[in-house]
A = this chain, B = another copy of it.
Amino acid sequence: MIRAGIVGGTGYTGVELLRILALHPDVEVTVVTSRADAGISVDALYPSLRGYIDLKFSLPDVAGLSECDVVFFATPNGTAMLMAEQLLARGIKVIDLSADFRIKDPQEWSHWYGMEHASPDLIAEAFYGLPEVNRDAIKKAQLIACPGCYPTAVQLGFLPLIENNLVDVKQLIADVKSGVSGAGRKAEIPTLMSEAGESFKAYAVNGHRHLPEIRQGLASAAGQSVGLTFVPHLTPMIRGIHATLYGQLTTTELTPKISIEDIQALYEQRYHAESFVDVLPQGSHPDTRNVRGSNNCQISIFQPQGQQTIVVLSVIDNLVKGAAGQAIQNMNLMFGLKEDLGLKIIGLYP
Protein backbone atom coordinates (compact mmCIF):
# COMPACT_ATOMS: atom_id res chain seq x y z
CA MET A 1 0.00 0.00 0.00
CA ILE A 2 1.19 3.45 -0.87
CA ARG A 3 1.08 5.73 2.14
CA ALA A 4 -0.23 9.09 1.00
CA GLY A 5 -0.24 12.41 2.78
CA ILE A 6 -2.31 15.41 1.85
CA VAL A 7 -1.16 18.87 2.83
CA GLY A 8 -4.04 21.31 2.85
CA GLY A 9 -6.88 18.91 3.21
CA THR A 10 -9.67 21.41 3.75
CA GLY A 11 -9.99 22.90 0.32
CA TYR A 12 -12.00 21.44 -2.53
CA THR A 13 -9.02 19.78 -4.18
CA GLY A 14 -8.07 18.30 -0.81
CA VAL A 15 -11.45 16.78 -0.13
CA GLU A 16 -11.60 15.56 -3.73
CA LEU A 17 -8.26 13.80 -3.28
CA LEU A 18 -9.76 12.14 -0.20
CA ARG A 19 -12.90 11.08 -2.07
CA ILE A 20 -10.87 9.31 -4.73
CA LEU A 21 -7.98 8.01 -2.63
CA ALA A 22 -10.30 6.56 0.01
CA LEU A 23 -11.44 4.01 -2.57
CA HIS A 24 -8.11 3.57 -4.38
CA PRO A 25 -7.13 -0.09 -3.96
CA ASP A 26 -3.40 0.55 -3.57
CA VAL A 27 -3.38 3.67 -1.44
CA GLU A 28 -3.84 4.37 2.22
CA VAL A 29 -4.20 7.99 3.25
CA THR A 30 -2.18 8.28 6.43
CA VAL A 31 -1.89 12.02 7.01
CA VAL A 32 -4.16 14.95 6.21
CA THR A 33 -2.98 18.32 7.37
CA SER A 34 -4.75 21.57 8.00
CA ARG A 35 -3.31 24.40 9.98
CA ALA A 36 -6.73 25.85 10.79
CA ASP A 37 -8.52 22.61 11.61
CA ALA A 38 -5.75 20.56 13.24
CA GLY A 39 -7.20 18.16 15.79
CA ILE A 40 -10.62 17.94 14.18
CA SER A 41 -11.83 14.71 12.59
CA VAL A 42 -11.75 14.88 8.82
CA ASP A 43 -15.26 13.47 8.64
CA ALA A 44 -16.60 16.05 11.09
CA LEU A 45 -15.74 18.70 8.53
CA TYR A 46 -16.72 16.52 5.57
CA PRO A 47 -19.57 14.23 6.54
CA SER A 48 -19.55 12.74 3.04
CA LEU A 49 -16.39 10.91 4.15
CA ARG A 50 -17.94 9.30 7.23
CA GLY A 51 -17.05 5.63 7.21
CA TYR A 52 -14.33 6.13 4.63
CA ILE A 53 -11.68 8.31 6.27
CA ASP A 54 -10.88 7.86 9.93
CA LEU A 55 -8.26 10.51 10.50
CA LYS A 56 -7.87 13.82 12.25
CA PHE A 57 -6.35 16.84 10.58
CA SER A 58 -2.78 17.34 11.78
CA LEU A 59 -0.45 20.31 11.59
CA PRO A 60 1.51 20.53 8.36
CA ASP A 61 5.10 19.71 9.18
CA VAL A 62 7.72 17.64 7.47
CA ALA A 63 8.15 15.27 10.40
CA GLY A 64 4.53 14.29 10.37
CA LEU A 65 4.74 13.51 6.68
CA SER A 66 7.99 11.59 6.83
CA GLU A 67 6.40 8.15 6.79
CA CYS A 68 4.54 8.91 3.57
CA ASP A 69 5.52 7.54 0.18
CA VAL A 70 3.86 10.44 -1.58
CA VAL A 71 2.64 13.82 -0.47
CA PHE A 72 0.02 15.81 -2.34
CA PHE A 73 -0.06 19.56 -1.91
CA ALA A 74 -3.60 20.86 -2.14
CA THR A 75 -2.50 24.16 -0.68
CA PRO A 76 -2.72 27.78 -1.75
CA ASN A 77 0.13 28.90 -3.97
CA GLY A 78 3.38 29.48 -2.09
CA THR A 79 3.27 26.57 0.36
CA ALA A 80 4.57 23.63 -1.61
CA MET A 81 7.71 25.50 -2.60
CA LEU A 82 8.58 25.84 1.10
CA MET A 83 8.25 22.15 1.97
CA ALA A 84 8.92 20.17 -1.19
CA GLU A 85 12.70 20.11 -0.91
CA GLN A 86 12.75 18.54 2.54
CA LEU A 87 10.25 15.90 1.52
CA LEU A 88 12.13 15.05 -1.65
CA ALA A 89 15.30 14.78 0.38
CA ARG A 90 13.62 12.06 2.42
CA GLY A 91 12.76 10.17 -0.77
CA ILE A 92 9.14 11.13 -0.68
CA LYS A 93 7.48 11.82 -4.00
CA VAL A 94 5.72 15.16 -4.20
CA ILE A 95 2.67 15.99 -6.30
CA ASP A 96 1.86 19.65 -6.17
CA LEU A 97 -1.66 20.68 -7.18
CA SER A 98 -0.87 24.35 -6.66
CA ALA A 99 0.92 26.56 -9.15
CA ASP A 100 4.33 26.61 -7.47
CA PHE A 101 6.22 24.54 -10.00
CA ARG A 102 4.17 24.99 -13.15
CA ILE A 103 6.00 27.92 -14.71
CA LYS A 104 9.54 27.23 -15.81
CA ASP A 105 10.67 30.84 -15.59
CA PRO A 106 10.80 31.94 -11.93
CA GLN A 107 10.66 35.61 -12.95
CA GLU A 108 7.47 35.08 -14.86
CA TRP A 109 6.11 33.06 -11.96
CA SER A 110 6.84 35.93 -9.58
CA HIS A 111 5.20 38.39 -11.92
CA TRP A 112 1.93 36.50 -11.99
CA TYR A 113 1.87 35.12 -8.46
CA GLY A 114 3.13 38.21 -6.71
CA MET A 115 5.83 36.64 -4.58
CA GLU A 116 9.42 35.56 -4.77
CA HIS A 117 9.88 31.89 -5.60
CA ALA A 118 11.36 30.11 -2.58
CA SER A 119 12.84 27.15 -4.44
CA PRO A 120 13.75 28.31 -7.92
CA ASP A 121 16.24 25.46 -8.28
CA LEU A 122 13.53 22.87 -7.81
CA ILE A 123 11.51 24.18 -10.74
CA ALA A 124 13.79 22.48 -13.19
CA GLU A 125 13.32 19.16 -11.44
CA ALA A 126 9.56 19.37 -11.57
CA PHE A 127 7.71 17.73 -14.40
CA TYR A 128 4.49 19.16 -15.70
CA GLY A 129 1.89 16.55 -14.90
CA LEU A 130 -0.12 16.38 -18.09
CA PRO A 131 0.15 12.67 -18.85
CA GLU A 132 -1.15 13.06 -22.37
CA VAL A 133 1.99 15.09 -23.13
CA ASN A 134 4.55 14.06 -20.55
CA ARG A 135 3.84 10.45 -19.67
CA ASP A 136 7.34 9.07 -19.83
CA ALA A 137 8.86 11.87 -17.84
CA ILE A 138 6.15 11.60 -15.22
CA LYS A 139 6.89 7.91 -14.68
CA LYS A 140 10.38 8.78 -13.49
CA ALA A 141 9.56 12.01 -11.74
CA GLN A 142 9.93 12.74 -8.04
CA LEU A 143 8.19 16.10 -8.21
CA ILE A 144 5.12 16.81 -10.27
CA ALA A 145 3.56 20.18 -11.02
CA CYS A 146 -0.06 19.36 -11.70
CA PRO A 147 -1.58 21.52 -14.41
CA GLY A 148 -4.21 24.09 -13.57
CA CYS A 149 -7.82 23.40 -14.43
CA TYR A 150 -8.11 25.89 -17.29
CA PRO A 151 -4.73 24.83 -18.75
CA THR A 152 -5.80 21.18 -18.77
CA ALA A 153 -9.00 21.83 -20.71
CA VAL A 154 -7.38 24.28 -23.10
CA GLN A 155 -4.25 22.28 -23.85
CA LEU A 156 -6.06 18.99 -24.41
CA GLY A 157 -8.40 20.82 -26.76
CA PHE A 158 -5.74 22.64 -28.76
CA LEU A 159 -2.92 20.10 -28.86
CA PRO A 160 -3.83 18.09 -31.97
CA LEU A 161 -4.38 21.28 -33.97
CA ILE A 162 -1.05 22.72 -32.90
CA GLU A 163 1.01 19.58 -33.05
CA ASN A 164 -0.13 19.16 -36.65
CA ASN A 165 0.51 22.79 -37.60
CA LEU A 166 -3.09 23.21 -38.63
CA VAL A 167 -3.78 26.60 -37.11
CA ASP A 168 -2.10 29.94 -36.82
CA VAL A 169 -0.54 29.79 -33.36
CA LYS A 170 -0.23 33.55 -33.26
CA GLN A 171 -3.97 33.94 -33.14
CA LEU A 172 -5.49 31.49 -30.70
CA ILE A 173 -8.55 32.27 -28.66
CA ALA A 174 -9.66 30.36 -25.58
CA ASP A 175 -13.05 31.39 -24.23
CA VAL A 176 -13.38 29.29 -21.11
CA LYS A 177 -16.17 28.90 -18.58
CA SER A 178 -15.67 27.52 -15.10
CA GLY A 179 -17.92 26.46 -12.27
CA VAL A 180 -17.46 28.29 -8.98
CA SER A 181 -15.62 25.51 -7.17
CA GLY A 182 -12.59 26.62 -9.17
CA ALA A 183 -12.38 29.60 -6.85
CA GLY A 184 -11.83 27.29 -3.92
CA ARG A 185 -13.32 26.97 -0.47
CA LYS A 186 -12.61 30.49 0.68
CA ALA A 187 -14.88 32.92 2.46
CA GLU A 188 -15.21 35.56 -0.24
CA ILE A 189 -18.15 37.61 -1.37
CA PRO A 190 -17.92 37.09 -5.15
CA THR A 191 -18.50 33.35 -4.87
CA LEU A 192 -21.43 33.56 -2.47
CA MET A 193 -24.44 31.88 -3.99
CA SER A 194 -26.29 35.21 -3.91
CA GLU A 195 -23.54 36.73 -6.05
CA ALA A 196 -22.48 33.92 -8.37
CA GLY A 197 -25.80 32.12 -8.67
CA GLU A 198 -28.09 32.90 -11.60
CA SER A 199 -25.49 35.14 -13.16
CA PHE A 200 -22.66 34.90 -15.64
CA LYS A 201 -19.59 37.03 -16.06
CA ALA A 202 -16.11 37.14 -17.45
CA TYR A 203 -13.28 38.05 -15.13
CA ALA A 204 -9.58 38.83 -15.31
CA VAL A 205 -9.88 39.53 -19.03
CA ASN A 206 -6.74 41.62 -18.92
CA GLY A 207 -4.70 38.72 -17.58
CA HIS A 208 -5.32 35.57 -15.58
CA ARG A 209 -2.61 33.53 -13.84
CA HIS A 210 -3.30 30.54 -16.03
CA LEU A 211 -2.39 32.48 -19.15
CA PRO A 212 1.40 32.02 -18.88
CA GLU A 213 0.93 28.35 -18.06
CA ILE A 214 -1.23 27.75 -21.11
CA ARG A 215 1.10 29.75 -23.32
CA GLN A 216 4.07 27.73 -22.06
CA GLY A 217 2.36 24.42 -22.80
CA LEU A 218 1.12 25.43 -26.22
CA ALA A 219 4.44 26.97 -27.15
CA SER A 220 6.13 23.74 -26.26
CA ALA A 221 3.79 21.86 -28.59
CA ALA A 222 4.20 24.46 -31.31
CA GLY A 223 7.93 24.79 -31.07
CA GLN A 224 7.50 28.53 -31.03
CA SER A 225 5.84 31.20 -28.95
CA VAL A 226 2.12 31.53 -29.35
CA GLY A 227 -0.35 34.41 -29.36
CA LEU A 228 -3.25 33.53 -27.11
CA THR A 229 -6.28 35.49 -25.97
CA PHE A 230 -7.65 33.76 -22.88
CA VAL A 231 -10.94 34.90 -21.38
CA PRO A 232 -12.11 33.04 -18.27
CA HIS A 233 -15.72 33.23 -17.15
CA LEU A 234 -17.57 32.27 -14.00
CA THR A 235 -20.65 30.17 -14.69
CA PRO A 236 -23.38 29.49 -12.14
CA MET A 237 -22.66 25.86 -11.42
CA ILE A 238 -20.36 24.15 -8.96
CA ARG A 239 -18.21 21.82 -11.04
CA GLY A 240 -17.09 21.82 -14.61
CA ILE A 241 -15.00 23.65 -17.16
CA HIS A 242 -16.06 24.19 -20.75
CA ALA A 243 -13.40 25.52 -23.08
CA THR A 244 -14.51 26.93 -26.41
CA LEU A 245 -11.38 27.25 -28.51
CA TYR A 246 -10.93 29.11 -31.77
CA GLY A 247 -8.12 28.63 -34.24
CA GLN A 248 -7.61 29.92 -37.76
CA LEU A 249 -6.72 27.23 -40.27
CA THR A 250 -3.38 27.90 -41.90
CA THR A 251 -4.30 26.20 -45.13
CA THR A 252 -3.95 28.58 -48.00
CA GLU A 253 -4.65 28.46 -51.67
CA LEU A 254 -1.37 26.69 -52.17
CA THR A 255 -1.98 23.96 -49.63
CA PRO A 256 -4.86 21.56 -50.06
CA LYS A 257 -7.72 22.32 -47.74
CA ILE A 258 -8.01 19.95 -44.83
CA SER A 259 -11.53 18.71 -44.16
CA ILE A 260 -13.23 18.59 -40.80
CA GLU A 261 -13.37 14.81 -41.18
CA ASP A 262 -9.58 14.76 -41.45
CA ILE A 263 -9.26 16.90 -38.36
CA GLN A 264 -11.68 14.65 -36.52
CA ALA A 265 -9.54 11.67 -37.51
CA LEU A 266 -6.41 13.40 -36.26
CA TYR A 267 -8.03 14.05 -32.89
CA GLU A 268 -9.26 10.50 -32.59
CA GLN A 269 -5.85 9.15 -33.45
CA ARG A 270 -4.06 11.53 -31.08
CA TYR A 271 -6.17 10.41 -28.13
CA HIS A 272 -6.95 6.86 -29.15
CA ALA A 273 -4.82 5.29 -26.45
CA GLU A 274 -5.73 7.76 -23.77
CA SER A 275 -7.98 6.51 -20.96
CA PHE A 276 -9.25 9.92 -20.05
CA VAL A 277 -9.55 11.90 -23.26
CA ASP A 278 -12.56 11.07 -25.36
CA VAL A 279 -13.21 12.57 -28.78
CA LEU A 280 -16.95 12.65 -29.39
CA PRO A 281 -18.49 11.85 -32.77
CA GLN A 282 -18.77 14.69 -35.29
CA GLY A 283 -21.70 16.93 -34.48
CA SER A 284 -21.90 16.13 -30.77
CA HIS A 285 -21.59 18.90 -28.22
CA PRO A 286 -19.96 17.90 -24.93
CA ASP A 287 -21.79 18.78 -21.76
CA THR A 288 -19.94 19.36 -18.51
CA ARG A 289 -22.41 17.23 -16.58
CA ASN A 290 -21.23 14.15 -18.46
CA VAL A 291 -17.81 14.38 -16.86
CA ARG A 292 -18.98 15.56 -13.43
CA GLY A 293 -17.02 13.72 -10.78
CA SER A 294 -15.04 11.78 -13.39
CA ASN A 295 -11.49 12.14 -14.66
CA ASN A 296 -12.60 12.42 -18.29
CA CYS A 297 -12.08 15.11 -20.85
CA GLN A 298 -14.61 15.07 -23.68
CA ILE A 299 -13.81 16.94 -26.88
CA SER A 300 -15.68 17.92 -30.05
CA ILE A 301 -14.39 19.66 -33.15
CA PHE A 302 -16.34 21.89 -35.55
CA GLN A 303 -15.73 23.92 -38.66
CA PRO A 304 -18.80 26.16 -38.81
CA GLN A 305 -19.99 26.86 -42.35
CA GLY A 306 -16.82 25.30 -43.66
CA GLN A 307 -14.91 28.49 -42.97
CA GLN A 308 -11.38 29.16 -41.79
CA THR A 309 -12.22 29.06 -38.10
CA ILE A 310 -11.99 25.75 -36.27
CA VAL A 311 -13.97 25.53 -33.03
CA VAL A 312 -12.96 22.99 -30.43
CA LEU A 313 -15.10 22.25 -27.37
CA SER A 314 -13.35 20.62 -24.44
CA VAL A 315 -14.93 19.80 -21.09
CA ILE A 316 -13.55 18.49 -17.81
CA ASP A 317 -14.48 18.46 -14.15
CA ASN A 318 -12.18 21.15 -12.79
CA LEU A 319 -11.75 19.28 -9.48
CA VAL A 320 -10.98 15.91 -11.08
CA LYS A 321 -9.17 15.99 -14.43
CA GLY A 322 -8.45 19.63 -13.59
CA ALA A 323 -6.97 18.81 -10.16
CA ALA A 324 -7.32 15.77 -7.88
CA GLY A 325 -8.01 13.12 -10.50
CA GLN A 326 -5.12 14.20 -12.65
CA ALA A 327 -2.88 14.26 -9.58
CA ILE A 328 -3.80 10.65 -8.86
CA GLN A 329 -3.30 9.74 -12.51
CA ASN A 330 0.20 11.13 -12.09
CA MET A 331 0.67 9.17 -8.88
CA ASN A 332 -0.34 5.95 -10.62
CA LEU A 333 2.28 6.61 -13.30
CA MET A 334 4.98 7.50 -10.76
CA PHE A 335 4.39 4.29 -8.83
CA GLY A 336 4.14 2.05 -11.89
CA LEU A 337 0.47 1.32 -11.36
CA LYS A 338 -2.19 1.04 -14.01
CA GLU A 339 -2.87 4.60 -15.05
CA ASP A 340 -6.59 4.42 -14.42
CA LEU A 341 -6.42 2.59 -11.09
CA GLY A 342 -8.96 4.09 -8.70
CA LEU A 343 -10.07 6.48 -11.40
CA LYS A 344 -12.78 4.48 -13.11
CA ILE A 345 -15.50 6.87 -12.02
CA ILE A 346 -18.55 7.51 -14.15
CA GLY A 347 -19.84 11.06 -14.43
CA LEU A 348 -22.77 11.81 -12.15
CA TYR A 349 -25.70 12.43 -14.45
CA PRO A 350 -28.16 13.95 -13.84
Chain A residues within 8 Å of B, Cβ to Cβ: 12, 15, 19, 22-23, 44, 46-52, 171, 173, 175, 177, 179-181, 183, 185-189, 191-203, 205-207, 227, 229-231, 233, 235-240, 242, 244, 246, 248, 278, 280-281, 283-294, 298, 300, 302, 304-305, 307-309, 311, 313, 315, 319, 344, 346-350
| Contact, CB under 8 Å: B180 / A192 | yes
Give the contacting residue for A173; candidates B173, B287, B291; CB below 8 A.
B173
Most chain B beta carbons < 10 A, residue from A12, A181, A349? A349
Please judge, given known A-B contacts A51-B278, A198-B292, A288-B201, whether A350 and B239 are in contact too, CB under 8 Å: yes
Residue of B nearest to A350 (CB): B194
Closest 6 CB pairs of A and B: A199-B289, A48-B347, A194-B350, A193-B193, A201-B287, A175-B175
| Contact, CB under 8 Å: B309 / A229 | yes
What are 27 contact pairs spanning A and B, CB under 8 A?
A: A19-B346, A19-B349, A23-B344, A23-B346, A46-B290, A48-B346, A48-B348, A50-B298, A173-B246, A175-B175, A177-B233, A186-B189, A191-B193, A193-B197, A195-B350, A197-B197, A197-B238, A199-B240, A199-B288, A201-B286, A201-B313, A202-B242, A205-B285, A205-B311, A231-B304, A235-B235, A246-B246
| Contact, CB under 8 Å: A193 / B180 | yes
Give the contacting residue for A290; candidates B48, B283, B344; CB below 8 A.
B48
| Contact, CB under 8 Å: A233 / B244 | yes
Please judge, given known A-B contacts A193-B197, A197-B238, whether A206 and B346 are in contact too, CB under 8 Å: no
Q: Please give the distance in Å from A43's CB to the nearest CB on chain B.
A: 10
Q: Please give the distance in Å from A50's CB to the nearest CB on chain B.
A: 6
| Contact, CB under 8 Å: A187 / B187 | yes
A239 to B238, CA, bound (A): 14
A196 to B187, CA, bound (A): 13
Copies assembled: 4
Q: Please give the distance in Å from A302's CB to the nearest CB on chain B.
A: 4
Please judge, given known A-B contacts A177-B177, A197-B197, A229-B304, whether A350 and B12 are in contact too, CB under 8 Å: yes
Residue of B nearest to A240 (CB): B200
A180 to B227, CA, bound (A): 34
A200 to B102, CA, bound (A): 28
Please judge, given known A-B contacts A175-B175, A201-B285, whether A290 and B47 are in contact too, CB under 8 Å: yes
